[in-house]
Amino acid sequence: MADQLEQPRSLVRHLRALARSGSLAPYLADHVQLPQAWPLTVNVDVTRGCNLRCLMCASDHGATPELADEAIWPALAEAVPLTAELSVGCLHEPTLHPELPERLADLSAAARAAGWTGFLGLLTSGTLLTRALTDRLLQAGVGLLLSIDTTDEAAYARVRRPASWSALRPQVEYLARQAEARGRFIAARSMIMAETLPHLVATIEELAQMGLRRFSLAQVQVAPDASVVVHRGEHAGRIDGAVARLRALARSTELELDLPSAPDDLPDGALAPLLGDGDVWDEHRVGPGRRGICLVPWCKVRVDHAGWVYPCPHKQRRELAWGNLLQQPLGRIVNGASARRDRELLLAGQAPDDACRRCPYGPGVEAP
């Protein structure tokens, strides 16, 4: 029973199983209104700003970093019953927040005291990590996810402007050593781009040698001027080749890899869950066919630094928000009129707005 699911991955697996059996659509229709305990993945930006200007960034950074309102922290603690995974950092750099470790520690303590057993994580480029900040974050009791697309010095400099891999490497080594000593969760997320693809396998091997054991790789649609690869023609062969070598590497080591692939196991025309799982990260493969329905409004939300709640990072304009966490509890927001309308229209094969219409996961046709 999905209503008893505890982990976001098991939610997506459950939905994929329903898609294979042809019973996904009625299930989704029954869950336009989400239960009050539901395993959402919640991504939260506790700052607005970033020290980098990456090649692939889709964020609208402020000129000066703004911190989230202090009220966001108790609001998040109250929201955890609707959450299986809560990750801080999404479209902005969270370590710009000067009290981040202490706020995360308080959030973790409040959530655990209330009986929450979900995953609390921090997603960061790592470029602002010092040894002192690393120690404080590890003491906070959160899982650490590093955005590292490549360990090739020249490619890193072109992608993660103006940072450098040689400056970051000692911090990652220190973090990996300290995390292992404390038995803490540490992982890396990487985007596959034209800049990074030639170095992909070497990057994973180098990070694994440094002690990282879990990786998720994504081919993500980004700003039109970014140097992304499309999973077609020559690039498709190169991506498939790299993925095959990484699968072999994972089999011979203890690495856990989430790799991009098309949802080929689903029947044509099925209402297929296309987002939210490690093996459906490849937007360029799923986009042209538009074979399924976007499940994000059933599975995820993103909260910005001002408390506005959106289903995904493709939506950043206030008029597309479902509500504000500083004004309403998450349970009301995810079942408010905007959220229900998004689910109903996507289920009916119509895009609720221009963001969904342009998105590779959307149905392409905007509702009248």
Q: List residues near ligand SF4 by CB under 6 A.
A: 50, 52-54, 57, 59, 91-93, 125, 275, 294, 296-297, 311-312, 314-315, 355-356, 359, 361-362
CB of 272 to ligand SF4, least distance (A): 13
Residue 35 forms beta bridges with which residues? none
Our CB check for ligand SF4 shows the closer of 139 and 350 to be 350
Specify the residue for token string 């992909």.
200
| Side chain identity, residue 346 | L
* Structural tokens at position 292: 């399924």
CB of 163 to ligand SF4, least distance (A): 8
| Side chain identity, residue 339 | A
Our CB check for ligand SF4 shows the closer of 255 and 285 to be 285
For 187, the enclosing helix (H) or strand (E) is strand 186-191
For 217, the enclosing helix (H) or strand (E) is strand 214-218
CB of 127 to ligand SF4, least distance (A): 7
Our CB check for ligand SF4 shows the closer of 91 and 217 to be 91
Our CB check for ligand SF4 shows the closer of 52 and 249 to be 52
CB of 76 to ligand SF4, least distance (A): 20
Helix (H, G, I), strand (E, B) or coil at 73: helix
- Return the CA Rg of the chain: 20
Our CB check for ligand SF4 shows the closer of 100 and 359 to be 359
Buried b (16+ CB within 10 A) or exposed e, 123-157: bbbbbbbeeebbebbbebbbbbbbbbbbbbeebbb
Our CB check for ligand SF4 shows the closer of 263 and 297 to be 297
Q: Considering only CA atoms, which of 311, 322, 331 is closest in space to residue 80?
A: 331
Our CB check for ligand SF4 shows the closer of 210 and 367 to be 367
CB of 292 to ligand SF4, least distance (A): 10
The three-point CA angle 342-343-348 to 5° equals 100
Q: Considering only CA atoms, which of 224, 236, 153 is closest in space to residue 192?
A: 236
CB of 193 to ligand SF4, least distance (A): 12
CB of 360 to ligand SF4, least distance (A): 7
CA dist., res. 289 & res. 298, Å (int): 21
CA dist., res. 31 & res. 24, Å (int): 11
Rounded to the nearest 10 degrees, the angle between the axes of helix 131-139 and helix 165-182 is: 30
